[in-house]
Amino acid sequence: MAAPARYREHLERLASLIQDGSLAAGSQLMAHRDYAQAHGIAAATAARVYRELIERGLAVGEVGRGTFVRTQVTRAAAEFSQTSERDADLIDLAFNYPVLPEQAVQLRRALRTLSDKGDIATLLDYHPPPGRLEDREAAAKWLSTADAPIDTADLMVCSGSQHALNVILSSLIARRDLVAVESLTYPGFKNAAKLLDIPLVGVQMDDSGIVPDSLDELCRKHRGRIRVVYTMPTVHNPTGVVMPLERRLALVDVAHRHDLLLVDDSVYGFLEASPPPTLRSLAPDRVVEIHSMSKSAAPGLRTGYLVAPARLRKRLYEGLHATLWSASAITAGLVSAWMRDGTLARWIVAKRNEARLRQEVARRLLGAWPITAHPTSFHFLLELPKPWRPDALVDALKGQGVAIAPLAAFAAPNVPSTRSVRIAMAAPMTIRQLEIGLATVADTLIKGPC
């Protein structure tokens, strides 16, 4: 009798069958234990094969249902793939582009003002890795709070939050280290960690955010290998949770106990008008903060900021130098001007109001199903009724010109997906276009899967 095929052979065979269509999109794979028995391999080996298929985006595991083959559409949705220009006819409820109609006019005005500055030629120069002093001073003043002022020396300008995440991962993570993330986390962070071959471990969440006891248990289990925790404590993406002060204190306590660095991604934090004290204010030597202008201003600016304790400054400077040298002084200069003249503050108020209005529209059209959201965020989670599966709904809506994201896009490794999707509401430029998109979602849910 021939020896059982090895793990790699089973993996590549199944991957090939999925990619050439022999295993139809949406079809259910046999339970991994049944597969193991049918092919004479260990159940652990079969489970590993299925996990790798999921990590490649070829399949999705769903709680209580099993493992299903993915289509190209759902693969792209789960990976937040954007490889071509936006389709003008597509109602995009997958990506968040919170840009106000009046911002284009204000950008034109700001560019004219910038061009009239006497020192405009300096914008063409190389600049130090952390950015120009005037841009760092403007950002430090803007981002400082009463409980957590920012020293300009601790702030670095980045080319958006994705760049900041890559700098952190490439500069601060040692070989064999693990990074802990919430069980639902930012897809861009997952992609950056995967590119650098940095393993992630998911930490349980509840209605208050990351569960400290779960993190403590994982730290004990992995015996010191977890060095960094990535979290979104203020307007979490995708749940919208704002971590209360008591939970933040408990998280900081675990960080002290296990000598952890906390990475606080505050990209959506501007949407919360009255946030609790920041993690940095509670543990200034253990927190790196990420801020970005992609949501509060506009994604095309590619401007963000890292705020880090002095002990990490040298390594992060090296990371900035190695990845980009320094961020664009032109866009950073625009943002600095908007911080100083009050334009950014006005945009933020307007965006909170717009987000609140769009949440009301969502509840009016989709309130028949469970919705989880922050009241002034541009996204929400929608729990699907049976027998709908997230991938099936993504496919059905794409055929009608509407894009959404399955929750599997946000799931940490080894965290099974649930019967939920994330719907983003910032991209439609008008309320009417948003209503059409959400009404299409509602009608499709009512009709049921084909």
According to the model, what pLDDT value does residue 3 have?
41
Rg (the chain; Cα; Å): 23
Neighbour count for residue 285 (Cβ, 10 Å): 11
Whether residues 190 and 139 share a domain: the answer is yes
Whether residues 308 and 442 share a domain: the answer is no
Residue 62 lies in a domain: yes
Judged by DSSP in three states, 67 sits in strand
Whether residues 333 and 373 share a domain: the answer is no
Q: What pTM was estimated for this model as a whole? A: 0.87
Residue 113 lies in a domain: no
Residue that the structure tokens 């002093």 belong to: 133
CB 290 within 8 A of CB 306: yes
> How far is C-alpha 396 from the chain's CA centre?
24
Whether residues 300 and 391 share a domain: the answer is no
Dihedral, 34, 38, 43, 44 alpha carbons, nearest 10: -120
Residue 101 lies in a domain: no
Has residue 275 got a pLDDT over 80? yes
**How many domains in the chain?**
3
According to the model, what pLDDT value does residue 74 have?
65
Whether residues 418 and 439 share a domain: the answer is yes
DSSP type of residue 201: E
DSSP type of residue 419: S
CATH of the domain at 361: 3.90.1150.10
| 388-432 confidence digits (pLDDT tens) | 999 899 999 999 999 999 998 899 987 877 889 999 999 998 999
Has residue 131 got a pLDDT over 90? yes
Q: Structural domain of residue 392, as residue ranges?
A: 85-96+345-447
Residue 65 lies in a domain: yes
Token digits of residue 306: 């890292």
Residue 370 lies in a domain: yes
Whether residues 47 and 153 share a domain: the answer is no
Q: How far apart are CA 423 and CA 7, in angstroms?
A: 37
Whether residues 303 and 356 share a domain: the answer is no
Query: Mean of the per-residue pLDDT values for the chain?
Result: 90
pLDDT band of 2, cuts 50, 70, 90: very low
Residue 110 lies in a domain: no
CATH of the domain at 37: 1.10.10.10
Mean pLDDT (whole number) for 83-107? 83
Token digits of residue 395: 């496919």
According to the model, what pLDDT value does residue 39 have?
84
